[in-house]
Structure 1
Amino acid sequence: MTPKKNDRQGDPADEQGGEFVAGARRVHDELLARIGEQAPQPRLEPTRRAVELLGDPQRAYPVIHLTGTNGKTSTSRMIESILRAHGLRTGLMTSPHLVHLNERIVVDGEPISDERLVANWDDIQPYLTMVDTDLEASGEPALTFFEALTVLAFACFADAPADVVVLEVGMGGEWDSTNVADGQVAVFTPIALDHQNRLGSTVAEIARTKAGIVKPTAAVVSASQTPEALVELERAVELSEGSLAVEGTAFGVQSTTVAVGGQVVTIRGLAGRYDDLLLPQFGDHQAQNAAVAVAAVESFLGGGSQPLDHEVLAEGLASATSPGRLQIVANEPTILVDAAHNPHGARALAKALDDYFQFGGVVAVLSVLADKDAAGIVRALAPTVTQFVVTSSQSDRAIDADELAAIAVGVVGADRVVVETDLVAALRTARDLADEVEGDEPGGVVVTGSITLVGDVIALSQQPEGLS
C-alpha cells in the first residue's frame, strides 16, 4: 500500500543547532513518510509486535491512560505536573503537537531533546523495519506515523527512565496504538461527537470504543458524562472488575473564582478537600479538568483513599501549562488561541470568553478541517463572537476559505463574515476589527477552529517580530 501523505505537523526544534537538528529533521521526515494520523489503522498487533521485539518498554513503568473527546491534553498535563511535584520522574505523551514534534514526548516536564529523540529512533529503527517487512509481506500497510511514534515514545520513557507515564490516546481507545500499554488508572474526559467516520455515529458508540482502554482491576476516573456515555463506561468497569469514580458524585469542583492569569479553585477530591488552589488556565472546563486530574492522581498514589499534600498539589497545579488552550499570544488588542475543533469544545470556549474576559466584542479568526462540523463550531461561537475572519491553516485538510465562509454565512449572515485566505492578512484584519470596537471595553481576537491553525499562529508569535 502506498502510504497516504501525512498532514503538515510542524518541524523539529530549530534552536539547538548542529547535527542533532539535522537528525531530528530526519526522524520527523521518516515519520511523515508513513501513513498519516488522518488515516489510523484500527489494529493493535503491529504495535504490540514492535514493542515485544524491544522487550516491552511500556511495561517498565506504571501508566495513567487518558481518553475522551475534549480536554485530554490539558488534563494530561495537569496530572503530569502534579506527579512531578510529588518528586516522580514523569513521562508524558500527548498529541497532536502544535509546533514541534518533540512536544509529544515530554520527560520530567521538558520536551525530549533532539539528541535523545534521534538516539532512541535509531535504536528502534531495525525493529520497526522488521515489523514493516512482515506486514508488507502479508499485504498489510506498514506501521503508521502514530504507531511508530508510540513505539518511539515508549522507548524514550524507558530510556529516561520514567517513574510513571501519563499517556494520551491518539484517537478512540480500543484500537489506538497506545492501548498496548496497561493503565493502572484509566481517565475519561468528556465524551462527545467527533471523528464519527472512525469511532461511530453516536455518543454511545464512541464511548464504547474509548472504553477499550479500561484494563482488568483498573481504577477508572471520569469527568461528568452524558447518560449514554456513562452506561458504556459502567459496563467496561463491571467487566474489568475495577472501580469507577465520576465527577459530580465521587469528586468535583466546589467553587471557582476568576483571578489574574487564571482562576482560584476549590476541589473536592476522592480523599480530601483542597481549598484555594491557583489554576493558571481560564474557563470552568479547565477547573473541571483539574478536578479530574486530582482524582486521577489520588487514585494512582493512594488508591483513592489518601488525601494529597495540599502544598504539593498547589505547586503542581500552579505549574501546569496548557499551550494552545485559551493562551494569550499578543496584546493590544489581546489575541488568544484556543484549539477548540468541534462544537463541544467551541461551546466551552464561548463560555470561557464570556465568563473570564471583558471584551467589548470578540473577533474570531477561523479555520476548520474538512472532517469537522464547521457549521456546529460557528453556531456554538455565534452568541459570543461578533465577527468571523475566515482563513485557512497550512494543513492539507483545511476547508477552503471560501467554502468555510459560505458555511459561516449560512449560520450568522454575510455581514459578520470576512474572508482572508492569507493567515497573516487574516490576523491583521482581525486586529483592525477588534480595534474598531466601540464602548468601555476593548475588543479581543480569538484564533480557533483547528489545532493546526493554532499551531500556525503560535509559530508566528515565536518569530522575532511576533504578531506585530
Structure 2
Amino acid sequence: MSEPVARSAETFAEAEDALLSRWPETRLEPSLDRIRAFTELLGDPQRAYRSIHLTGTNGKTSTSRMIDTLLRALDLRTGRFTSPHVERMSERISIDGEPLDDEAFVRAFNDIAPYTHLVDDQEAHPLSFFEAIVGMAYAAFADAPVDVAVVEVGMGGSWDATNVIDADVAVVTPIAVDHTAYLGTTPAAIAQEKAGIIKPGAIAVVAQQPAEAMAVLTARAAEVGATLAREGLEFGVVDRQPAVGGQLVTLQGLRGRYDDLFLPLYGAHQAQNAVVALAAVEAFLSTDQPLSDEVVRAAFAEVTSPGRLEVIRRSPTIVLDAAHNPAGAEATAAALEDSFQFSPLIGVIGVMADKDHEGLLAAFEPLLEHVVVTQNSTARALPAEDLAAVAREVFGADRVSVVPRLADAIDEAAGRAESGSGDSLSSGAVLVTGSVVTVGEARTLLGGRK
C-alpha cells in the first residue's frame, strides 16, 4: 500500500474544521467496523496502555475527571477522553490532566488525517467526527505515552466508537432514560447497550441503578466472567455534609474507608461520583491495600468539573450547570437546595430539540422564581419560542420570559436576580442550564475558561 497523502492542517481552526466536516455526532450508524478499520491502520494504539472505560447517563465527565486526578496523584501518566466539550474541542483529549494545546492538537490531527480517507474509501459510510476524534485520542495517548487512559463513551456502549478498547475496569454511572431514539425507552433497554463495555475478566464498578438496569448489568458481568463491585454493597458514601465551597465526604472504598475528605463540588450526586471514582481506581490498582489517605485527600481537594454547578461569577452569583435531562436536573435541583440559599433564583434555560425538556423544566420549577427561556447557537437547539410554550404550561405565563439571544437572556436574568434580592441573609442568583452547549457558550461569554 502506498503512503497515504492528505493536506496537513496548519492551525487549530483548520483541524477543527476538517473534523467538523465529517458526519456529526448526532448522525449514527451503529457499527464498530469503521473505527476498527481506522485503529488498525493506526497500529491499534489503544492496546499500548491500560484503561478505565466509563458509561452511564449522568456523571461520566465528573467521574472521569476524579479518576484522572486520583491516578495522577499516584504518579501515573494519564490520558483522558471526554465528550462533549464545554467550550473548546481540544478539551476532549487531555494528557496529564491538561487539554492538548493548539500545537499538540494540530499535530495529533495531522498524525491521523491521512488514514481517515483510506477508511472513507473502504467502508460503506465515511468516518464520523466522533470516530475520527476517538482514533485521534487513542493515537495521542500512545504517542505521549500514557500509563492509563480514562475513556468516556460518547453514547451507549456496545457500538460506541470508544468500545474498541478493552478496559481493565468498566465504570457504569447512574442510568436514566435519555437518547431514546438510539438507546431505547426503558432503563433495562439502555442498560443492555451500556453493558457492552464490560469485557471478559474486567472489573465492573457500578453506581446505584434502577433495579431493572442492575439486573441487566449483573447478567452481563456473569456472562463474560467480570467481577462486579456495586455501590451500596461493596463500596458507598458513608456520610456527606455541605461545606463552604463544596462538601465533606466520608467514603467506603473497596480497600478502605476515607474520612472527612473535602470535595470542592456540590451535591449528593458528586459525592456518589467521588466514591465511584475511588472504587474504580482501587479496582484498577489490583491491590488489597487501601490508598494512602494523604494521596486521596490531596487528589479530591483539587478536583474540578467545569460547567457542573460551577459558580462562574459573583454579584449577582451566576451558576452554570450542564443538566440536560430530567434525572440530571433533579440532581442539580437537590444540590442547589442542599448547598445554597439563593433568593430569588432565576433560570436561564436553553435545550436541544431532542431532549425531554418538559421533564427538565418540571424538575427545576420548585426552585426557580422566574425562567428566562433562550436558545444556543447550534442547529439542534430548540427555538426559544417552542421552549417557552412548554415553560408556560409548567411555570405559568407570568414566570416566563423569552429572550432568544443567550447574552441578552443572561443580562435579563441577572437584572431580575439583583432587583429581587431581599433580606441580607440571602441574595439573588442566576442558574444557566439545559444543555452542555448552552453552558459552554455562557461560560465563554462570562470569561470562564481557565
TM-score after normalising by structure 2? 0.96
Structure 1 Cα separation of the partners of residues 71 and 309 of structure 2: 24
Residue 108 in structure 1 maps to residue 96 in structure 2: yes
Contact kept, 8 Å, 2:248 with 2:260, in 1: the verdict is yes
Structure 1 Cα separation of the partners of residues 76 and 29 of structure 2: 34
Q: Which residue of 2 aligns with 1:312?
A: 295
Once the two structures are TM-superposed, the CA of residue 183 in structure 1 deviates from its matched residue by: 0.8
Q: Which residue of 1 aligns with 2:106?
A: 118
Which of 108, 115, 119 aligns to 1:127? It is 115
Structure 1 Cα separation of the partners of residues 82 and 369 of structure 2: 33
Structure 2 Cα separation of the partners of residues 40 and 63 of structure 1: 25
Structure 2 Cα separation of the partners of residues 361 and 351 of structure 1: 16
Which of 80, 97, 101 aligns to 1:92? It is 80
Residue 403 in structure 1 maps to residue 386 in structure 2: yes
Deviation by residue 1:52-111 (Cα, 9 ceiling, x = unmatched) = 111110000001000000000000000000000000000000000011111000000110
Residue 363 in structure 1 maps to residue 363 in structure 2: no
Structure 1 Cα separation of the partners of residues 88 and 9 of structure 2: 12
Q: Which residue of 1 aligns with 2:282?
A: 298
Counting only pairs closer than 5 Å after superposition, residues 338-417 of structure 1 correspond to structure 2 as: 338-417=321-400
Residue 30 in structure 1 maps to residue 18 in structure 2: yes
Corresponding residue SS for 1:360: strand
- Kindly tell me: are residues 200 and 54 of structure 1, through their superposed partners in 2, closer, same or farther at Cα, counting changes over 3 Å? same
Q: Which residue of 2 aligns with 1:287?
A: 271
Corresponding residue SS for 1:409: helix
Contact kept, 8 Å, 1:93 with 1:168, in 2: the verdict is yes
Deviation by residue 1:259-301 (Cα, 9 ceiling, x = unmatched) = 2211111101111000111111011100000000000000001
Counting only pairs closer than 5 Å after superposition, residues 3-18 of structure 1 correspond to structure 2 as: none
- Kindly tell me: are residues 463 and 153 of structure 1, through their superposed partners in 2, closer, same or farther at Cα, counting changes over 3 Å? closer
Contact kept, 8 Å, 2:348 with 2:413, in 1: the verdict is yes
Q: Which residue of 1 aligns with 2:205?
A: 221
Q: Which residue of 1 aligns with 2:406?
A: 423
Letter in 2 for 1:181: I
Q: Which residue of 1 aligns with 2:61?
A: 73
- Kindly tell me: are residues 21 and 424 of structure 1, through their superposed partners in 2, closer, same or farther at Cα, counting changes over 3 Å? farther
Once the two structures are TM-superposed, the CA of residue 455 in structure 1 deviates from its matched residue by: 0.4
Q: Which residue of 1 aligns with 2:3?
A: none
Q: Which residue of 2 aligns with 1:7?
A: none
Residue 263 in structure 1 maps to residue 251 in structure 2: no
Structure 1 Cα separation of the partners of residues 16 and 355 of structure 2: 26
Residue 457 in structure 1 maps to residue 445 in structure 2: no
Letter in 2 for 1:115: E
Contact kept, 8 Å, 2:10 with 2:106, in 1: the verdict is no
Q: Which residue of 2 aligns with 1:159?
A: 143
Letter in 2 for 1:184: D
Contact kept, 8 Å, 2:351 with 2:434, in 1: the verdict is yes
Q: Which residue of 2 aligns with 1:232?
A: 216
Which of 37, 53, 65 aligns to 2:41? It is 53
Corresponding residue SS for 1:220: strand
Once the two structures are TM-superposed, the CA of residue 21 in structure 1 deviates from its matched residue by: 9.6
Corresponding residue SS for 1:228: helix
Corresponding residue SS for 2:401: strand
C-alpha RMSD of the superposition? 1.4
Deviation by residue 1:337-371 (Cα, 9 ceiling, x = unmatched) = 00000000000010011000011221110001000
Deviation by residue 1:394-423 (Cα, 9 ceiling, x = unmatched) = 111111101100001111110111111111
- Segments of 5+ residues of structure 1 without an aligned counterpart are 1-19
Once the two structures are TM-superposed, the CA of residue 41 in structure 1 deviates from its matched residue by: 2.1
Q: Which residue of 2 aligns with 1:442?
A: 427
Q: Which residue of 2 aligns with 1:168?
A: 152
Q: Show structure 1 runs of 4+ deviating over 6 A.
A: none
Residue 206 in structure 1 maps to residue 205 in structure 2: no
Letter in 1 for 2:262: L
More displaced stretch, 452-461 vs 110-119: 110-119
Contact kept, 8 Å, 2:346 with 2:372, in 1: the verdict is yes
Once the two structures are TM-superposed, the CA of residue 386 in structure 1 deviates from its matched residue by: 1.2
Contact kept, 8 Å, 2:312 with 2:448, in 1: the verdict is no
Once the two structures are TM-superposed, the CA of residue 302 in structure 1 deviates from its matched residue by: 2.4
Letter in 1 for 2:145: P
Once the two structures are TM-superposed, the CA of residue 462 in structure 1 deviates from its matched residue by: 1.5
Letter in 2 for 1:63: S
- Segments of 5+ residues of structure 2 without an aligned counterpart are 1-7
Q: How many residues align?
A: 441
Contact kept, 8 Å, 2:324 with 2:351, in 1: the verdict is yes
Q: Which residue of 2 aligns with 1:324?
A: 307
More displaced stretch, 437-446 vs 56-65: 437-446
- Kindly tell me: are residues 361 and 34 of structure 1, through their superposed partners in 2, closer, same or farther at Cα, counting changes over 3 Å? same
Q: Which residue of 1 aligns with 2:31?
A: 43
Structure 2 Cα separation of the partners of residues 453 and 359 of structure 1: 22
- Kindly tell me: are residues 247 and 172 of structure 1, through their superposed partners in 2, closer, same or farther at Cα, counting changes over 3 Å? same
Letter in 2 for 1:451: V
Letter in 1 for 2:431: V
Once the two structures are TM-superposed, the CA of residue 129 in structure 1 deviates from its matched residue by: 1.2
More displaced stretch, 327-336 vs 21-30: 21-30
Contact kept, 8 Å, 1:41 with 1:144, in 2: the verdict is no
Contact kept, 8 Å, 2:9 with 2:15, in 1: the verdict is no
Contact kept, 8 Å, 1:21 with 1:114, in 2: the verdict is no
Deviation by residue 1:165-224 (Cα, 9 ceiling, x = unmatched) = 000000000000000000110000000000000111111100000000010011000110
Q: Which residue of 1 aligns with 2:319?
A: 336
